[in-house]
Amino acid sequence: MEDNILLDAIEKYRYGQMDDQEKVFFEELRKKNPEIDQIAAEHNFFLAELDKMSELKNLKHNLNLVESKLVNEGAISRREGKTKAKVIYLWNRYRRTIAVAACIAVIVSLSTASFVSNYSEKKNVSVITPLVDNKLNQFEHKLNQIEHKLNDASSVITKEKFEANFRATGFLVDANGYIITNAHVVVNAKNLIIENKKGEQFSAKAVYSNPATDLAILKITDTSFKKTSTLPYTFSKTSADLAEPIFTLGYPREEVVYGEGYLSAKSGFSGDTASYQISISVNPGNSGGPVINKNGEVIGIISSKETNADGVVFAIKSKNIYTALKEVKRDKDENIKVSSENSLKGLKRVQQIKKLEDFVYKVKGN
Amino acid sequence: MKIYDQEKALLEGLAANDTTAIETIYRENYAVIQAFIVKNNGYPDDARDIFQEAMIILFEKAKSSSFVLSCQIKTYLYSVCRRLWLKKLQKQNRYNPSIETIQETVAVEDEIETHEKRNEDFTLMENALSKIGEPCKSLLEAFYIQKKSMPEIAASFGYTNADNAKTQKYKCLVRLKKIFFAQYKH
């Protein structure tokens, strides 16, 4: 209990509750007794800390009092009322962030849009390959010239050297020298020539070209061209049947190439109803070749193949040829007559091809 | 001279924990501080916390014997609040170096540091108090903070007489001191 009395005394001394006599006595006691002096010092420090704390507590109490008074008066914005102006505070607080975010959003959306549009265009191009052979080199050309000279020494090729940079296929629709091929074959060509299997070349011009249907009609303008015999094939007006056997002739090489296959779908790339999907082996150069069924009816024109898939080839339906011919008649006043007699029907395939190959031409240009 | 005297009176009032003085200082300065903080990524709530802290710093300054008023209260509070807010932003990694300053400021770094040290001490004592439990806590608070007399305490806590309360208070005090000094030494 002595400690109790001692601490009491220290507190009394600190808060001035002692009379003079007691004070003197207490001071004497501290001086004489270092142990008591140490206890007194420690306790005083402790009390000072307590005092500081109580001061602060009281001050905080008063600060809160004043604050809530002013809040009630409206001099200070209310804590719970902050939702009222929340948008403004959020705006003030985050306006820089918002500005940066908006900029980024604009840039990202613009770049995404342009990227997507670019990419999707490219995709279309890459998915479908037009079957035009653009890799004609001079060597091949010269070789052919020589070959033709040797083969047919009597027919002198008097024409000036024509250097083609692409080759595709086309075939007659009218014995008067109208040839049908793909629009993508002629679209960028300055000069066009038609070459038969013997290597005779005739200059030609496009009288019709429709990128939407991918059909083009060329007219042989060369005077040396003579009207051929009647066309052995007709053009089918009706839709062909699934699994129908078909064949084609074309010029993926300098020599005519025969190909056989079947009709695999009644619509083309991405559901395009203007064309068929056929399964046949084709290569660049086959573009514009006729797709013919066993009865010798032209049911379509080879136009493209899917790049990433094997044996997926698209052919424009023959119905479109009639539309094209009508438009030519209307716009250009060129009267093209399609033969109505089919002389291929019932023949063996070899005979059919022998009759046919004189009407299928190379289309070259630069 | 008039402004100087007014401000001196205000500070004396603050040192004596006088609500009228506190209210006057609040009225004259709070709006500027809130505008500053809201403009610099803060909410009004932040402004109120920062302002209270600045008031405590000013209070400590006003109480110290070596205190000399070297600038207006307005300037001083603004400087302290600006400094405190910058520190808070830095802590939250939201520091914006282009923080807007619309008023002159005075150097207040030292005061803020002392204040932080004192705040630590303050929390030490509060921690110790919260650890001793009831009724010790209330008993000691009644005696040392509310400065109530022993007979009063005996009456309100239900002790039979003042001596009884005194004995109880002594026991609590010893425990509090033990906890406080144990923390203090660490």
Which pair of structure tokens corresponds to residue A11? 């507190």
Structure confidence at residue A262 (pLDDT): 93
Q: Does A84 touch chain B (CB under 8 A)?
A: no
A95, closest residue in chain B (CA to CA): B41
Across A119-123, A189-193, B19-23, B152-156, least confident range: A119-123
B93 to chain A, closest Cα gap in Å: 14
Across A44-48, A58-62, A156-160, B178-182, least confident range: A156-160
- The letter for the amino acid at A148 is H
- Residues 127-146 of chain B whose Cβ lies under 8 A from any Cβ of chain A: 144-145
Cβ B52 vs Cβ A76: under 8 Å:
no
Cβ-based neighbours of B126, under 8 Å, separated by 6 or more:
A53
Q: For A100-119, how does the pLDDT look when each residue is reduced to its tens digit (9 = 90+)?
A: 999 999 999 999 999 888 87
**Mean of the pLDDT values across residues B29-41?**
84
Inter-chain CB proximity B44 and A77 less than 8 Å:
yes
Across A204-208, B75-79, B145-149, least confident range: B145-149
CB-closest option in A43, A53, A75 to B125: A53
Angstrom distance (rounded) from CA A299 to CA A290: 8
What percent of chain B is predicted at pLDDT more than 90?
0
Structure confidence at residue A170 (pLDDT): 93
ipTM above 0.85, yes or no: no
Q: Which residues of B touch A62 (CB under 8 A)?
A: 17, 19, 22
Cβ A216 vs Cβ A210: under 8 Å:
yes
Cβ-based neighbours of B77, under 8 Å, separated by 6 or more:
B25, B29, B33, B51, B54, B55, B58
The two most distant CA atoms of chain B are separated, in Å, by: 66
Q: Which residues of A touch B19 (CB under 8 A)?
A: 62, 65-66
- Residues 101-120 of chain B whose Cβ lies under 8 A from any Cβ of chain A: 118
Check pLDDT > 50 for residue B161.
yes
Inter-chain CB proximity B56 and A67 less than 8 Å:
no
Q: Which residues of A touch B121 (CB under 8 A)?
A: 49, 52
Cβ A59 vs Cβ B18: under 8 Å:
no
Q: Does B27 touch chain A (CB under 8 A)?
A: yes
Counting Cα atoms < 13 Å in the Cβ hemisphere of A267 gives 5
Which of the 8 DSSP states describes residue A241?
P
Q: For A205-238, how does the pLDDT look when each residue is reduced to its tens digit (9 = 90+)?
A: 888 898 888 899 999 988 888 888 888 999 988 8
Domains of chain B from N-terminus onward: 2-107 (1.10.1740), 116-185 (1.10.10)
Across A185-194, A200-209, B23-32, B125-134, least confident range: B125-134
Q: Which of A43, A61, A63 to mutate to test the interface with B (most CBs of B within 10 A)?
A: A63
Count interface pairs A-B at CB distance under 8 A.
Answer: 94
pLDDT band at B73 (very low <50, low <70, confident <90, very high): confident
Q: Which of B28, B36, B43, B64 to mutate to test the interface with A (most CBs of A within 10 A)?
A: B43
Inter-chain CB proximity B44 and A93 less than 8 Å:
no
Check pLDDT > 50 for residue A314.
yes
Structure confidence at residue B152 (pLDDT): 83
Is the full-model pTM beyond 0.80?
no
Cβ-based neighbours of A18, under 8 Å, separated by 6 or more:
A9, A12, A26
Angstrom distance (rounded) from CA B17 to CA A63: 9
Angstrom distance (rounded) from CA B135 to CA B141: 10
Inter-chain CB proximity B43 and A82 less than 8 Å:
yes
Give one DSSP letter per residue of A36-49, joined into a string: HHHHHHHHHHHHHH
**Mean of the pLDDT values across residues B95-104?**
57
Q: Does B125 touch chain A (CB under 8 A)?
A: yes
Inter-chain CB proximity A67 and B52 less than 8 Å:
yes
Q: For A196-205, how does the pLDDT look when each residue is reduced to its tens digit (9 = 90+)?
A: 888 888 999 8
Q: Does B95 touch chain A (CB under 8 A)?
A: no
Across A33-37, A151-155, A199-203, least confident range: A151-155
Check pLDDT > 80 for residue A147.
no
Angstrom distance (rounded) from CA A285 to CA A44: 108
Cβ-based neighbours of A229, under 8 Å, separated by 6 or more:
A175
Structure confidence at residue A259 (pLDDT): 92
**Mean of the pLDDT values across residues B15-34?**
86
Which pair of structure tokens corresponds to residue A19? 């009379």
Inter-chain CB proximity A70 and B30 less than 8 Å:
yes
Q: Does A38 touch chain B (CB under 8 A)?
A: no
Inter-chain CB proximity A60 and B52 less than 8 Å:
yes
Q: Does A4 touch chain B (CB under 8 A)?
A: yes
Q: pLDDT higher for A121 or A211?
A: A211
Structure confidence at residue A118 (pLDDT): 81
**Mean of the pLDDT values across residues A85-109?**
83
Angstrom distance (rounded) from CA B61 to CA B67: 6
Q: Which residues of B touch A96 (CB under 8 A)?
A: 96
Helix (H), strand (E) counts: chain B: 8, 0
